[in-house]
Amino acid sequence: MKKALSILSLLPFANTNGVLASELPKRPNVIIIYADDLGYGDLECYGAKNVKTPNVNKLAKNGIRFTHAHAVAATSTPSRYSLLTGEYAWRKPDTDVAAGNAAMIIRPTQFTMADMFKSQGYATGAFGKWHLGLGDITGEQDWNAPLPASLGDLGFDYHYIMAATADRVPCVFIENGQVANYDVSAPIEVSYTGNFEGEPTGRDNPELLYNLKSSHGHNMAIVNGIGRIGYMKGGGKALWKDENIADSITAHAIDFIKAHQNEPFFMYFATNDVHVPRFPHKRFRGTTGMGHRGDAIVQFDWCVGELMKTLKKLKLDKNTLVILSSDNGAVIDDGYADQAEELLDGHQPSGPWRGGKYSAFEGGTAIPAIVHWPEQIKGGKVSDVLISQIDWMASLGSLIGAKFPKGSAIDSQNRLGNLLGTDDSHRPWVVEQAANKTLSIRTIDWKFIEPHNGPKIIPWGPKIETGNHPTPQLYHMKDDAAEQHNIATQYPEKISEFTTLLRNIRNQTEQTPF
């Protein structure tokens, strides 16, 4: 980490000895652009052929594109929990894919990435998909009043978010702890146990699914002609239109940038794209031959372009650190009949990796990651260094000189040099969490998957290999990146080494630097 330190010494908050404040570069703004279910192979700069992503390509060209970056988990809620707290989600109960009426999973007493930026004088904002619960008690939220617990309690000065996912009720935006654009004439009720009298459902009224039909699940409430998970009543003019979600979160994010252009800001910009229901705005429809899924990637790229354009216009582009990534790997059919599979035409959403979203194989957590910061990063670099999103909190914390309260972010290590391209040493190991909570360890050379007795293919819809096997699996990633040849029986000493390492990590109760 030596070289990283030399960069830090240029920065005012790391070392101000003997230098006038006016001579120092300004603290960088930090934007995390967090796509949903965007696979390793979904971007042009990662080899995608059937979709153009010029705005993301430009970030990669002028920044660092990582080829061995990992989300912490193969689904959204645990990945986001870990990114925002620096703690493995599997340490904490109730961090699996959350319902739309889950209580807020990160508790206000926890030190979050937003708290960290706020503690250093940053303005902080969250936009788009949340999926980490709201309010104090699951199922007890009154959506017609300010919520008793929301992102304001987690260090965000401002938020404009979706409570969970676009396929889960309530289908309304939450702005600073209350329903945005609230419609007094249509009080909102939400349930994940039973329907409200007189409300149609996808199951009983398939003729009302005029925008998208489901392929599995998604047959409860109908909003905007699309079946959802969970039941909902009311909402009126506050209900979102899926085709406008990208526009809406982008417009709010741009307003936030403009409002805070004269002070450092941290923005968590989490898109709904390319999660289901994929229903891009009509100006993106048909821009690829891949149907809604491909067009949603173009819509995502457009959002990136709008944010970058705004930064440029305000002359903030040079000193804004942008990190673009995804919360988990790719899925093709995730429950709506959007022809994602039929129209692939050779496109490989997971790139070279086996499996996809949900999976213990690499496709579950191997994700695109790009870091862009013209003031400090020369650009044009492709980095093969092994990194994990678990470290982003400690790394960004070190960049801004934040102090961590004892017991916070215990799994997050400062690997800032990796992110800025000054340190190419691999993380010694990365822990990956599959949807069924199977843990794997990835090193640059090896992949170890702990045993699990479940089915080989997800039994409830998506055609994805789970990675389950009743005995430990071991792959030599240098020769077998596609995890085809399980060589566990040939290397008993490796199996015992990884089993012990995983046990030690599981038992860890405080930060233990490598």
Site residues, ligand NG6 (CB under 6 A)? 36-37, 75-76, 97, 131, 165, 167, 216-218, 229, 275-276, 328, 334-335, 461
C-beta of 68 vs 278, nearer to ligand NG6: 278
Cα(132)–Cα(13) distance, integer angstroms? 31
C-beta of 163 vs 402, nearer to ligand NG6: 163
CA angle 416, 314, 84 (to 5 degrees): 35
C-beta of 41 vs 472, nearer to ligand NG6: 41
Residues 302 and 246 sit within 8 Å (Cβ to Cβ) = yes
Residues 392 and 413 sit within 8 Å (Cβ to Cβ) = no
The strand pair at 381-388 and 64-70 is best described as parallel
Contacted by 229, from Ca ion, ligand NG6, none: CB < 5 to 8 Å by type: ligand NG6
Q: Which tokens in the block code for residue 240?
A: 């979102």
Q: Which tokens in the block code for residue 495?
A: 């199996």
- Shortest Cβ distance from residue 375 to Ca ion (Å)? 31
Cβ-proximal residue to ligand NG6, closest one: 217
C-beta of 295 vs 334, nearer to Ca ion: 334
Residues 3 and 390 sit within 8 Å (Cβ to Cβ) = no
Q: 448 - beta bridge partners?
A: 441, 474
Residue 310 host element (H or E): helix 291-313
- Shortest Cβ distance from residue 296 to Ca ion (Å)? 13
Cα(488)–Cα(268) distance, integer angstroms? 40
- Shortest Cβ distance from residue 328 to ligand NG6 (Å)? 6
- Shortest Cβ distance from residue 74 to ligand NG6 (Å)? 8
- Shortest Cβ distance from residue 385 to Ca ion (Å)? 24
Residues of this chain that interact with Ca ion (CB under 5 A) are 36-37, 76, 327-328
C-beta of 218 vs 293, nearer to ligand NG6: 218
- Shortest Cβ distance from residue 367 to ligand NG6 (Å)? 12
C-beta of 68 vs 275, nearer to ligand NG6: 275
Q: Which tokens in the block code for residue 170?
A: 């309530």
Peptide bond into 322 cis (omega under 30): no
- Shortest Cβ distance from residue 484 to ligand NG6 (Å)? 26
Contacted by 415, from ligand NG6, Ca ion, none: CB < 5 to 8 Å by type: none
- Shortest Cβ distance from residue 358 to ligand NG6 (Å)? 8
C-beta of 158 vs 279, nearer to ligand NG6: 279
The strand pair at 29-35 and 320-326 is best described as parallel
Contacted by 334, from Ca ion, ligand NG6, none: CB < 5 to 8 Å by type: ligand NG6
- Shortest Cβ distance from residue 37 to ligand NG6 (Å)? 5
- Shortest Cβ distance from residue 470 to Ca ion (Å)? 28
Contacted by 216, from Ca ion, ligand NG6, none: CB < 5 to 8 Å by type: ligand NG6
The strand pair at 439-442 and 446-449 is best described as antiparallel
Backbone φ and ψ of 82, nearest 5°: -70, -40
C-beta of 34 vs 160, nearer to Ca ion: 34
Q: What residues have CB less than 8 Å from 127, skipping those under 6 apart?
A: 159, 160, 161, 249, 252, 253, 256, 267, 268, 269, 270
Please, which contacts does 285-291 make with residues 24 or more away whose CB atoms are closer than 8 Å?
A: 287/52, 288/50, 288/51, 288/52, 289/50, 289/343, 289/345, 290/50, 290/51, 290/340, 290/343, 290/344, 290/345, 290/347, 291/338, 291/339, 291/340, 291/342, 291/343
Contacted by 167, from Ca ion, ligand NG6, none: CB < 5 to 8 Å by type: ligand NG6
Residues 116 and 156 sit within 8 Å (Cβ to Cβ) = no
C-beta of 149 vs 390, nearer to Ca ion: 390
